[in-house]
Structures are given as C-alpha cells and as structure tokens.
Chains A and B, each alone.
Chain A
Amino acid sequence: MARSIALLLVFLFSAFALSSQLYGIKPVKVLNFDQLEPYLNKKNDTVYLVNFWATWCAPCIAELPAIKAVEKKYSDKKFKVLLVSLDMPGHLKTRLTPFLLSNKITSDVVLLDDPDQNRWIDRIDKQWSGEIPFTVIYGKDFRESYSQSFDFKTLDSIINRKIKMP
C-alpha cells in the first residue's frame, strides 16, 4: 500500500516536472530581500523590468499579458523581466506554480519571502508605500518606478524608448 502511494507520488511528481519543462516554466526561487536586492541594482547595458505582484492581485494579473508581450517583442534586445511574487510562501506549490503553468508564464519568477517589509520597501523605492502592482524599470543610468497596472501600449512605449537610449 505504502509502496503504491510512493509510486503514485513519484509518477505525479515527474508528470508535474515534465509539464513544467514542456511549457518552459522555470523553477521559482524563494528569496529574502538581501538575496533579491542584487537583481534590483545590476549595472550593465541591459534594461530590467522588475514587477511586484501576486496571484491574488487582480490588477497585477491584468497586466501580465502586457509584460509577457513586451518581453516577447524585445526578446532579441538587451531587456530582461523579473516577476517578484508576494504570494504567501505556503502558496508556492498550491497556487503560484499552478498559476504559472496554466498561464504559461515563462519569465523569471522569484517569491520574495521577507515579512519585515518595513525594512526593505524603502530600499526598493522611497516613494513606494507598498501597494501592488508596482514596477521598477531600470538600466545603467536611469531608474523609474510605476504604481499602476500597465496596458501593452503604455509599457511598450516606455521599454522602446529606454532600449533605444544611447
């Protein structure tokens, strides 16, 4: 009995792992703020979009297709997207990963697990009071943040402008 359950679990796990690979879903890393911070302060020629979101946040979900489309449009340019999920850490396997699978989210996704938010919100942006969705777009010599839910046109024009900057 125990053996068949173990077999079933192995089967389910491999099916899950396989389906993740099939859709190109990357494994979600769980980070604290100190581990996340380097992703917000890279200094090279690439334009970075770091989006703070959660599966339960309706306006966040609403802008994911726009982020996905922009990421695809500039896939041959020096442009990178990082989705920082603020889902509860206990919901990684039950909500976040299934959501990424069913919505075929192939961007880099990390889960930020750091409850002492008062310590790190200012270190991302002093103007940010903690509402999501929230997006930081930065490059070597600029840094902008947006407290809004993007549509494709708005986001595309920002990224287009930033990528073309000399």
Chain B
Amino acid sequence: MKSIISLFFVLFFAVSVAYSSGYNIGDKAADFKLKNIDGKFVSFSNYPDAKGFVLVFTCNGCPYAQAYQDRIVEIDKKYKSKGYPVIAINPNDPALAPADSFDKMVSVAKTEGFTFPYLIDEKQEVYKNYGATKTPHVYVLQKKGSDFVVQYIGAIDDSYQDATKVNSPFLASALDALVAGSLPETTTTKAIGCGIKDKSKK
C-alpha cells in the first residue's frame, strides 16, 4: 500500500514537472527582477501605467534575432505609447555564447538604437519559467488588476528574411487587438530561432 502511495506521488510529480514547463495562453505570468544594460534592475512594478508588456527573449549573436532588431524597435516605438512597452531579455549563458555577454549587450543596444530595456537572465530562471526555447521568442502580457495574463506567444511575423515581404504581422495584430479592447485572433505562432544556450541542456 505504502509503495502504491509513493508511486502515486512519483507519478504526480512527474506529471506536474511535464506540465509546468512554461506558460500557456491565459496563464498569469510572474514578475521578475533582472539587470538592465544601464546596471539598474527592471520589474513590471517599474511601469505602474503599463497596460501590458511585449516580452522578447532575444540575444546579440543569433542571426534570426539580428534580423528582427529593427522590427522590435519599431514595435516598441508604436506600442509603448499605447500602453504596451517592449522588454527584451537575453536568456543565453555567455560562457556558451560569448557574443551574448553583458558588455556586448550594452554595445548592441547602443548601435542598434534600442528604445527599450535589454535585460540579462543571469540565473536562467526567467526564460524557463516562461517556457521560452529560442531567440527571438515573444510573450505578450495584459495587465488585469494586479495580474499579468499571457495573451500571445510566438513569432513577430512570417518573414524573417525580409521585413518588406510580411504577409501576417502576428505580433502587431495581437497588440492591435488588445489595444482595441478585444483578444488576439491568433494567440500562438511558431518560427525558427536559435536554441537557448544553457549548460543544463547539454
């Protein structure tokens, strides 16, 4: 009997681990406190007036992330004033990806004219909590009372190679819907990206 109970607990634990790997649409997202390129720490609580956030897990070295740098700046410029600022987070371990060191984040943000915070996930806990697997990987959160609800997960658009050939601007459409007071029609999309560099995954 005792062994059945322990088996039950083992199974329960295994199932909870399997299902706790990241957020789904409608989940409440946890706040964090991560270091920005100016050395200050950033949390949701620093933005009392925000209606939500565009969290972008991205980095310096990944060609897909690089291809979207300008488009992320455009998203921030357009939607910050509508209550949805961009917060970029580099989830990579610089020991495995030297191009993604903190110092290089500072210089990339400067040369690319980032208009938003660019944070480093030093303990690599935030990206795991959200369930991000690659760069770039986007999460749109909407503030509801004191909660931040996940309303969109995935890609920025459907044309990484050429910003002039976008047919479906997934992220902008999701944000337009939220700003207009409705819910995004498409809530999850997929795109190729660079796997997040983490020693524990090797």
Contact = CB atoms under 8 A, between A and B. Distances in A.
B158 A130 contact: no
B-side binding surface: helix, strand, loop or mixed? loop
A37 to B, nearest CB: 16
Q: Considering residues A52, A88, A122, A131, which has the most beta carbons from chain B within 10 angstroms of its beta carbon? A: A131
Given A130-B134, A131-B133, A131-B134, A117 B190 contact: yes
B170 A118 contact: yes
Contacts of A56: 62-63
A131 B196 contact: yes
A54 B194 CA distance: 10
Q: Considering residues A59, A128, A129, A133, which has the most beta carbons from chain B within 10 angstroms of its beta carbon? A: A129
Interface residues of A, number: 26
B75 interface: no
Contacts of A86: 192
Interface of B: 62-63, 96-97, 133-134, 137, 154-155, 158-162, 165, 167-168, 170, 189-197, 201-202
A35 B93 CA distance: 36
Nearest to A116: B158
A50 to B, nearest CB: 15
A58 B100 CA distance: 13
Interface of A: 52, 54, 56-59, 86, 88-89, 115-119, 121-122, 128-134, 147-149
Contacts of A89: 161
A128 B133 CA distance: 9
B161 A147 contact: no
Given A118-B155, A130-B192, A133-B195, 18 more contacts: A52-B192, A54-B63, A56-B63, A58-B197, A115-B162, A115-B165, A116-B159, A117-B158, A118-B168, A118-B191, A119-B158, A121-B192, A131-B133, A131-B194, A132-B192, A132-B193, A132-B194, A149-B195
A56 B135 CA distance: 14
29 contacts: A52-B192, A58-B97, A59-B195, A115-B165, A116-B159, A117-B155, A117-B158, A117-B160, A117-B190, A117-B191, A118-B158, A118-B189, A118-B190, A118-B191, A119-B158, A121-B190, A121-B192, A129-B137, A130-B133, A130-B134, A130-B190, A130-B192, A131-B194, A131-B195, A131-B196, A132-B134, A132-B195, A134-B195, A149-B195
